[in-house]
Amino acid sequence: MGPITEVKLFYQAVILLCLGCGLQCFSAFNLIDFEAPVIFLGEETDQFGYRVIQTKSNGNSWLVVSAPYAGNRTGSLFQCSYDTQRCQPIVLNNAKVVPRISLGLSMAADEESESKIMACGPTWERRCGQLDYLNGICYILNGFEGNVKEIQPAFQECVFGVDAVILYDDSGSIKDPELHIMKNFFLNLMDSVAGANVQFAVVQYSSIFTLVFDFATYNNTREKIKDLIHNFKRFRGETYTPSAIVHVVDEVFTANRGIRPHSKKLLIVLTDGISNDRRTTFKQATEAANKKGIIRYAIGVGRNFLTAQDELRRIASSNENVFPVESFDTLGQLQKQLKDKIFNIEGVSKPSPDASDSSFFEKEFSQGGFSSLLTPEHAVTGAVGAYSWTGGLEESSFGEPPQTQFLNTSINESYIGYSVALARFHKRTFYVTGAPRFQHVGQVLVFESKSGRLTGNIQGQQVGSYFGAELASVDLNEDGNTDLLLIGAPHYYNGSQGGIVHVSSINNTVSKTIGELYFSRPVFTILTSLSFSPDLIPLDDPECGSKKISRIDSRGQVSLCFTLTLLSTKWSSASLRATINFSLQVDVKRTSPRLMLENETPSFSDSLQLGVMPICINKTLWAQVCLDDSFSPVVLRTKFSVQEQLDNRNLQPILHPETKTSIDIEVPFQKDCGQDGICVPDLSISFNFSGSKGLKLSPNFILNLTVKLENLGELAYEPAISFYYSSVLSFQGASVLQSNWPLFPACQMHGLPGNASVRHSSCHFRPPALKAGTRAFLRVSFRSSKGDTWPDKFVYFTIRAHSLNESNVQENNEATGRLPVLHPVNIIVKELQSTAYLNFSTQDPGKKILTHSYEVRNLDSNATAVNVTFELPLKTKQGFFWNITPSYSDVKNHFSCTPLFTLRTGISRKNVTKRLTRGCLGAVACPKVYCFINSLAKGEWIRFNFSGDFYREDKSPKLKSETFHVGSEASIRVDETRFFLNEAEDFSQITTEIELISPFNPVPIIIGSTIGGIVLLAIIVAVLYKFGFFKRNRAPQMDADAAGPAAPSDQAPSTSAAS
């Protein structure tokens, strides 16, 4: 259906609506008056008129108009009368409107009572810890003068922080190496959320229950936690799990142990066997924990828990909180899953970049009341931000106590609840809601109100159209059934027009919107299985690491199977067919996949004709024989979609909407852990300060540590480095300088509230395993964060290397060091008025005074000792000598300089060929003068003047005209074990220009001018002669012409004479 057809259908729908309703469409209000419309005016900045609904109160008809931006976005409601053509504010009796909630952003009226309305403000900001929650408030009015009922839809209580108790099994069935792995596992789990407002307590149990440390100890002595856990005495015994849980509830989750009043309370139980407790039952333990609102997680280690999980389910609060693992060695693979699951509350942890859990946020940003719907029994509100912006609808009853249910489905970031409308079909009620962000094209979902079940959906077509942003349901024939559903897509664009209203028609037998299946389409589902053989990806080539190998080899087989199953019992499945478009992706969580298919591509797509018989596709996976990361599991993913076909009765089968069309599986790698199957790493750490002499207390100074990390043992799981350093430092990051295996650090800072003088940062690595023989050099950078106020003389560093499976803390796991703290001093040396220019005659140079003057000044620092060094140009290569006489100006006389005779011994610079930018310039002898200032107080200064005759000692060589420069330099130093200077102001230079001038000799000019004039004159005469200038033509004398007769002439007479 094209856009023009759809718009036309919309106009037809409006006409049919009016014809079906007759005059009833205009009985209550007749505002559609194009000749004399009634206009209600309000403030434009308040968004007056954003929502308008009609209602009745005391027998009168009213319009309720919202202005959600009024009162600095608090929002206001107005009741407007068509008769008086005026509006007046609605006062919410016995209700205090919360500021800045945008009241009236959504409104709804109860169609049956015509007097009950609901107005919502979905921008209620609340501070919870370090976050601003965004919820909503709705007010329900039954008439304008009655009391107002307030509800808070999709409300999230403020849970500040997490208090977690780790209860681990110490029974005799656990061997010492296994217990060490278990301890390292939960120590790394604790480190991964350190500084995220999480505090821990640890309890060891068997038939004896012993507190390792409580919450208060954890906060006060955080740096000793690792030693406390590893050195704690074992008691062994039997496994009394229920009694241990009761002990923790009664003795550890208490205020005197450091628990916080508004925290989320967690209990994590690690056990390797079935409980044989004869004192307490699991029912008693569960009741005790539930009374305090403690959420429980159960981790079962051992093959028996892979099949028999009943005991773990009795320990945990829900089945989703059960985590069975095959062995202690595989505990490490569970860490990330536990972190994302257990500590998945806002303000406690952050999602990893590859986290796919859509429920990271729950209702913290729900914006309940973004859309609203009112029925006689329920208030229905949209919560677009709930569950990481998946969204949803919350239905709240008006009974006492009120009952609520939340309706949504797993379509991430779709904004379910953006709009909502009510639909009825055969005495059943449905909530129709828009999700305009679904896959960027939008979708409309239909939930049955009674069961909360998703019964249908309509999907948009154009990306970005915001399909489903507005909804309206229409009953054309007033039979109680919804006939039309109008769906707005305000951002739709067809090249010339923007915005469109889609019309979905509903006939008496089939509702495409609601999904009723009366006498109609068979419903089927498709079961998908994805498996890999063998169970573990084989090890790399044994020669990897000793030499570079580039070869591809087979790593296993993947099998993908589809099975079609008919769900409609009244139909036969014999002729059921479906065309499936499917894809298989390998290592989907990696940008550069490690495993490939036969054609060396990480994905495969195809289609097949599926009937009731299963169809399987088998593929071989290939990989390089030497992989950089052979620890992180490979994730295989398959997706499929269905092209539905008609069956033999010309009915189109439909795929059940709850069918899972995507499956992921994780395939782990084998571990190279020797014959015993247990990897025992040996991490070694050392560092140096990269040549730095001290920490400069300056925001521009970066302190770089060079850290060497080695694994001298077997494979290390989840390797990490922890840095503990003085609080004057701010951690900047880490990078790899050199490594024999690819290694990528990911670092973060942690808080240590119990010890303000020490800061903590850590770096984990990708790939999350350190192979045997790995050696890496890292650059770790710090910056001063407290200006120049740090009182200590040294900063201290402790760097620890640890991994999940290193059982004991070795001596080489830790390195310490310290570095002096250097305070800034604002002492400068500058030039004063000095000789800038001198000139000398080359024939008789003579003597002239040359003066260089400097000043050393303390601008704003405390009294400090200063060393001043002067380099002076004693002699130049032209033979000039500076006879220097120093003088100093200092009234307190608290400094001393080297004797004057030191000036007579200099350092020859005849052999220096490269250009000098420091020291004295233009000289072949540059002596130094050293001055020591005992104490230069704030604001004090000392002037140093060097003056004397500048003359030529040896006059035998002749001088030539030239210009050269001589320069002196003054540099200052302070105690470099305590202070540092600004490098741009710790020296100053003075340069004097020397010009050698030859006396003026006019003889060559006179001789040259004379010769040139003669030559020029000769040239001029020659030119004139050539042109006949010197040949003279004389005229005949007049008397001779008169006396003699005229000679005969052959020429004819002229015309003038003839005339």
Tell me the DSSP string of 748-805: EEE--TT-TTEEEEEEEEESSEE-TT-EEEEEEEEEE-STT----SEEEEEEEEE-TT
CA–CA dist 466, 415 (Å, integer):
10
The answer to whether residues 402 and 377 touch, using CB atoms and an 8 Å cutoff, is no
Q: Which domain holds residue 744?
A: 683-822
Boundary-marking domain end, from 641, 667, 693: 667
Q: Give the closest residue to 865 by CA, choosing from 929, 942, 936, 930.
A: 936
Boundary-marking domain end, from 948, 981, 997: 997
Residue 129 sits in the same domain as residue 185:
no
Residue 459 sits in the same domain as residue 559:
no
Boundary-marking domain end, from 616, 639, 667: 667
Residue stretches of the chain with pLDDT short of 70: 1-35, 195-196, 303-304, 306-308, 343-360, 505-521, 541-549, 568-575, 644-652, 677, 751-756, 786-788, 807-809, 890-893, 900-916, 1032-1059
Residue 401 sits in the same domain as residue 500:
yes
Q: Token pair 């407790």 is at which residue?
A: 277
- CATH number where 552 lies: 2.60.40.1460
Q: Identify whether 978 is part of a domain.
A: yes
CA 1043 to chain centre: 129
Residue 640 sits in the same domain as residue 687:
no
Q: Identify whether 1025 is part of a domain.
A: no
Q: Identify whether 1023 is part of a domain.
A: no
Q: Identify whether 833 is part of a domain.
A: yes
CA–CA dist 996, 964 (Å, integer):
9
The answer to whether residues 701 and 694 touch, using CB atoms and an 8 Å cutoff, is no
Q: Angle at the Cα of 670 (from 669 to 674), degrees rounded to 5?
A: 150
Residue 334 sits in the same domain as residue 416:
no
Residue 150 sits in the same domain as residue 168:
no
The answer to whether residues 148 and 92 touch, using CB atoms and an 8 Å cutoff, is yes
Q: Identify whether 1052 is part of a domain.
A: no
Integer-rounded Cα Rg, in Å, for the chain is 47
Secondary structure element (H or E) that encloses residue 840, with its range: strand 837-841
Residue 495 sits in the same domain as residue 540:
no
Residue 688 sits in the same domain as residue 657:
no
Q: Where would I find the beta strands (DSSP E) of 234-321?
A: 264-271, 295-301
Q: Number of folded domains in the chain?
A: 5
Residue 569 sits in the same domain as residue 654:
yes
pLDDT of residue 466: 95
pLDDT of residue 1: 40
Q: Give the closest residue to 483 by CA, choosing from 424, 421, 419, 420.
A: 424
Q: Is 150 exposed, middle or buried (0-12, 13-18, 19+ CB in 10 A)?
A: middle
Other beta carbons less than 10 A from residue 729's beta carbon: 22
- CATH number where 831 lies: 2.60.40.1530
pLDDT of residue 289: 93
CA–CA dist 284, 153 (Å, integer):
35
Q: Identify whether 873 is part of a domain.
A: yes
The answer to whether residues 697 and 823 touch, using CB atoms and an 8 Å cutoff, is yes
Q: Identify whether 224 is part of a domain.
A: yes
Q: Identify whether 960 is part of a domain.
A: yes
Is pTM, for the whole model, over 0.85?
A: no
Q: Are strands 864-871 and 720-726 parallel, antiparallel or unpaired?
A: unpaired
DSSP states along 908-962: B-TT--SPP-SS-BS-SB--EEEEEEEEE-TT-EEEEEEEEEEEES--SSPP--E
- CATH number where 448 lies: 2.130.10.130
Other beta carbons less than 10 A from residue 390's beta carbon: 25
Q: What are phi and psi of 255, to 5 degrees?
A: -65, -40
- CATH number where 724 lies: 2.60.40.1510
The answer to whether residues 294 and 249 touch, using CB atoms and an 8 Å cutoff, is yes
Which neighbouring-strand residues pair with 638? 584, 663
Residue 153 sits in the same domain as residue 166:
no
Tokens in use for 789?
Answer: 């106020």
Residue 835 sits in the same domain as residue 882:
yes
The answer to whether residues 770 and 716 touch, using CB atoms and an 8 Å cutoff, is yes
Residue 226 sits in the same domain as residue 321:
yes
The answer to whether residues 996 and 961 touch, using CB atoms and an 8 Å cutoff, is yes
